[in-house]
Amino acid sequence: MKLNNRILIDERFNDSYIAGFVHGDGGFSVQLALSKTTKSKRIRLNPMFTLTQHIRNEELIKKIIKRLGNVGSYSVDNKNIMRYRLSKIIDFKEKLIPFFDENQVKKDKLINYIKLKFIVEKLLTIENSFR
C-alpha cells in the first residue's frame, strides 16, 4: 500500500499503527445540539469520532474503517479531503471504545478520549434507564 509516495508494508498496519495515526489525524469530540420542542428546549450530546485525510490516502482510511468494524461513514469534499465520522452510540460501545481501551492514544488526545468515553457511558446509562 502506498502512503504519501512511501511504501507502507502491510505488516506495519496493526492496531498500534492505527492508534498512532488517530493520535495525529483523528479527533474525539462531543457536539451540543439544541432540540426545540413545543414545550421546552433540550440540549442533546452527540459524541463524534473523526479522521481526516487527503483522498490519496483513501486506501489507508478504508483499512482503518474495516478494522473498526465497518461502522460510521465517510465523505469526500470538493478539495479532495476525506472525512470519516462515527457518531452512533452503539458503535462507540461495541467498536470504538473497546478498540481504544486496548490501543491507547497519548497525551491530550487520551484526555479527549477519556472524556468522550465517560459521556458515552453516561448516555448509555440514561438510555438503558428508559427501557
Distance CA 97, CA 49 (A): 11
Residues 37-57 have pLDDT tens digits of 767 778 889 999 999 999 999
**Residue 4 has what pLDDT?**
52
Task: Check: CB of residue 60 under 8 Å from CB of residue 53.
Answer: yes
Q: How far apart are CA 91 and CA 64, in angstroms?
A: 14
Terminal C-alpha separation, the chain: 46
Q: Where are the domains of the chain?
A: 2-33+41-129
Q: Which CATH superfamily is domain 2-33+41-129 in?
A: Homing endonucleases (3.10.28.10)
pTM: 0.84
Distance CA 68, CA 15 (A): 10
